[in-house]
Chains A and B, each alone.
Chain A
């Protein structure tokens, strides 16, 4: 996979009037250990220290910040763990369970590697707007780097083996956070949700920290991880599926703008 030179970290990415951010998540397990939920405390510790060593031998020269900060979660304070959750660098689940766990975080917080979450390794990269190539090549570089030391659980038939069988294959999920006030107000969002099901996408309302009601932010992710290559899955998601939803949303905003310009300013929609 060729590295695309997108320059420095961009706060405003492509299509960012509708797509807030893009995320690639990759699950990997080591061949020589049971999955996290059946691993002993000693094995979990071993997984953490093997990963730390592998990461230290990893070439991170293509990383914007050249390094990752290592945090042993069993030694972190509650406050530190809370902070990592709030910044979406680790999952709530990862912060709460008691086994030996760790996370490595890029200094600009755009990439993290969770150790001993549901899978031994969970890599994720976040970018602004709709753009997956750069995120995917960063993830691939770290994955390949770790592989020169670690051996991944893999079967020729099922691909990369994951604790939950619905992640098996590429072990990769692409997801976007979309701002869809137009589709929400016009109630077209229901139609998008229905067609998303046929396209094997998961759509979930995003609840802000501590807020009870659904806002106009939606996380949309692909559910297919088997039977297609990483590039095919990425192209389908980025070039076909998401642009269609972006178009719907822009149309809905145009329509609302014609009908009632005041409504738009009150809900902070831009066209």
Chain B
């Protein structure tokens, strides 16, 4: 059966009674979420996330105006979908994410598992890569194509041969 609002398959089937009139609802995952209907197979933590996300929406919150400088994701958007846009989001939205993550993780708020083998050296490289990427964007915007090609080569090299930077 198709979703009432689009062509995707309906996964949520509900009977709602509004003003004494019985109405059947058949919705896909996305539209069910928009209507605020919980999915039958949804995991508790997803529900927790949705609840957290929607309960905050009624408050006047300065986080409302925040957006990530790394990827441009507005916090509003995260609240709607529960998905972050880039690694930087974890820093920009840290105050909003802390209580959410700790609640979902039984109070834990620090990683104690394995770490990448190049964790130390990588932080600098990440910075350089971001700077280069910014430069590349402005070079393209300014139609400096030779410069852009140069930057792209540098970026590709860094992304592929990252570890070499250390020696």
Contact = CB atoms under 8 A, between A and B. Distances in A.
A230 B122 contact: no
Contacts of B109: 157, 226-227
Contacts of A244: none
B62 interface: no
A151 B126 contact: yes
Interface in A246-260: none
Interface string B88-106: 0011000001001100111
B116 A32 contact: no
B45 A223 contact: yes
B44 A223 contact: yes
Interface stretch (B16-24, B69-77, B142-150): B69-77
Interface stretch (A8-16, A80-88, A163-171, A179-187): A163-171
A147 B122 CA distance: 12
Interface in A1-50: 29, 31-35, 37-38, 50
A161 interface: yes
A200 B49 CA distance: 14
A117 B28 CA distance: 19
B45 A166 contact: yes
A165 B97 CA distance: 8
Contacts of A118: 83
Contacts of A226: 101, 105, 108-111
Interface in B146-167: 159-160, 162-163
B113 A165 contact: no
B83 A227 contact: no
A224 B122 contact: no
Given A35-B83, A164-B82, A169 B43 contact: no
A144 interface: yes
A156 interface: yes
Interface residues of A, number: 48
Interface in B117-135: 117-119, 122, 125-126, 129-130, 133
B104 A227 contact: no
Contact of A158 (B90, B129, B130): B90
B101 A166 contact: yes
A99 interface: no
A161 B87 contact: yes
Contacts of A239: none
Given A37-B83, A165-B97, A166-B101, 4 more contacts: A38-B73, A155-B111, A168-B90, A227-B111
By Cβ-Cβ distance, the 6 closest A-B pairs, closest first, are A227-B108, A159-B111, A38-B85, A202-B43, A34-B86, A226-B105
19 contacts: A31-B126, A34-B70, A34-B85, A35-B86, A38-B85, A118-B83, A144-B117, A148-B163, A151-B159, A154-B122, A158-B111, A165-B104, A170-B114, A197-B44, A202-B44, A202-B45, A224-B106, A226-B101, A228-B112
